[in-house]
Structure 1
Amino acid sequence: MTNQKQAMLYGLATVLLWSTVATAFKLALAELAPVQMLLVACAASVLVMGGILMAQGRWHLVFELSRRQYLQSVGMGLINPCLYYFFLFGAFDRLPAQEAQPLNYTWALVLAYLSVPFLGQKLRRIDILAGLVCYAGVVVIATRGAVTSLSFSDPLGVAFALGSTLVWASYWIIATRDTRDPVVGLFLNFLFGLPFITLACWYTVGLELPLGRSLTAAVYVGVFEMGIAFVLWSQAMKKAENTAKVSNLIFISPFLSLVFIYFILGETIMPSTYVGLTLIMAGLWLQQQKVRVRQRGLDHG
Structure 2
Amino acid sequence: MQQQKKAYAYGLCAVLAWSTVATAFKISLAHLTPAQLVLYASLASSASLLGILLYQGRIASLLPALRQHWQRSLLLGAVNPLLYYLILFKAYALLPAQEAQAINYTWALTMTLLSVPLLKHKLRLNDSAAAVVCYLGVLIIGTHGQLLSLHFSSVAGVGYALASTLLWAAYWIFNARDQREPVLGLTLNFLLSLPLSLLFCAATGELHAVAWQGLAGAAYVGALEMGFTFVLWLSAMKLTNSTARIANLIFLSPLLSLVLIHFVVGEPILPSTLLGLALILGGLLLQKLPLPNLGRLRGSAASADHREISSPSGRQNQ
Same fold (TM over 0.5): yes
Distance of 2:145 and 2:254 partners within structure 1: 19
Contact kept? 1:33, 1:205, Cα under 8 Å: no
Distance (Å, rounded) in 1 between the aligned partners of 2:313 and 2:264:
39
- What letter corresponds to residue 216 of structure 1 in structure 2? A
Distance 1:95 1:276 in 2: 15
Q: Does 1:90 align with 2:96?
A: no
Deviations 1:262-298 (A, max 9, x none): 00001000000000000000001111235994389xx
SS at match of 1:210: coil
Structure 1 range deviating more: 209-218 or 230-239: 209-218
Structure 2 equivalent of residue 206 of structure 1: 206
Q: Distance in 1 between matches of 2:235 and 2:209?
A: 34
| 1:61 shift after superposition | 2.3
Match of 1:143 in 2: 143
The CA deviation string for residues 234-255 of structure 1, in whole angstroms up to 9 with x for no partner, is: 1011111000000000100001
Match of 2:210, SS state, is coil
Deviation at 1:31, TM superposition (A): 1.2
The 5 Å alignment of 1:153-164 reads 153-164=153-164
Aligned partner letter, 2:101:
Q
Match of 2:300 in 1: none
Query: 1:48 Cα shift?
Result: 0.4
| Structure 1 residue 68: Cα displacement | 5.3
Change (3 A) 1:290 1:75: farther
- Residue matched to 1:299: none
* Distance in 1 (alpha carbons) for counterparts of 2:194 and 2:27: 22
Deviation at 1:9, TM superposition (A): 0.8
In 2: Cα distance, 1:179 partner to 1:26 partner: 35
In structure 2, the residue corresponding to 1:62 is in which secondary structure? helix
How many angstroms does 1:203 deviate by? 1.7
Aligned residues of 1:108 and 1:169 also touching (Cα < 8 A): yes
Q: Taking structure 1 as reference, are residues 159 and 206 closer, same or farther at Cα in structure 2, changes over 3 Å only?
A: same
CA deviation after TM superposition for structure 1 residue 205, in Å? 3.2
Counterparts of residues 1-301 of structure 1 (less than 5 Å) = 2-65=2-65, 67=67, 69-290=69-290, 293-294=313-314
Shift, 1:36, TM fit: 0.5
**Alignment check: 8 A CA contact 1:114 1:170 kept:** yes
Q: Distance in 2 between matches of 1:13 and 1:26?
A: 21
In the alignment, residue 75 of structure 1 is paired with which amino acid?
Answer: L
Contact 1:115 1:121 (8 Å CA) reproduced: yes
RMSD over aligned Cα atoms: 1.7
SS across alignment from 2:20: helix
TM-score of the aligned structures, taking structure 1 as reference length = 0.95
Paired residues of 2:288 and 2:315 also in contact (CA < 8 A): no
Q: What residue in structure 1 maps to residue 304 of structure 2?
A: none
How far apart are residue 66 of structure 1 and its match?
A: 7.1
Which one has a larger percent helix, Structure 1 or Structure 2? 1
- Quote how far apart the aligned CAs of 1:192 are: 0.5
Q: Is the 8 A contact 1:237 1:243 kept in 2?
A: yes
Tell me the CA shift for residue 158 of structure 1: 0.5
Q: % of aligned pairs identical?
A: 51
* Amino acid of the structure 2 residue aligned with 1:141: I
Q: Please tell me whether Structure 1 or Structure 2 has the larger radius of gyration of its CA atoms.
A: 2
Q: Please give the alpha-carbon distance, in whole angstroms, between the structure 1 residues aligned to 2:315 and 2:135.
A: 27
Counterparts of 1:205 and 1:21, CA distance in 2: 27
Secondary structure in structure 2 of the residue aligned to 1:294: coil
Q: 2:139 & 2:66 partners in 1: Cα distance?
A: 45
Query: Which whole-Å CA distance do the structure 1 matches of 2:102 and 2:68 have between them?
Result: 36
Query: TM-score, with normalisation over the residues of structure 2?
Result: 0.90
Letter in 1 for 2:314: R
Residue-by-residue CA offset, 1:120-159 (whole Å, 9 max, x unaligned) = 3221011000000000100000001101111211000100
Identify if the C-alpha distance between structure 1 residues 159 and 104 changes in structure 2 by more than 3 Å, giving closer, same or farther: same
2:25 touches 2:217 (CA, 8 Å); kept in 1? Answer: yes
Contact 1:242 1:295 (C-alpha < 8 Å) held by counterparts:
no
| Contact 1:36 1:209 (8 Å CA) reproduced | no
State the one-letter code of the partner of 2:234: S
Contact 2:66-2:188 at 8 Å conserved across structures: no
2:31–2:211 Cα contact (<8 Å) kept: no
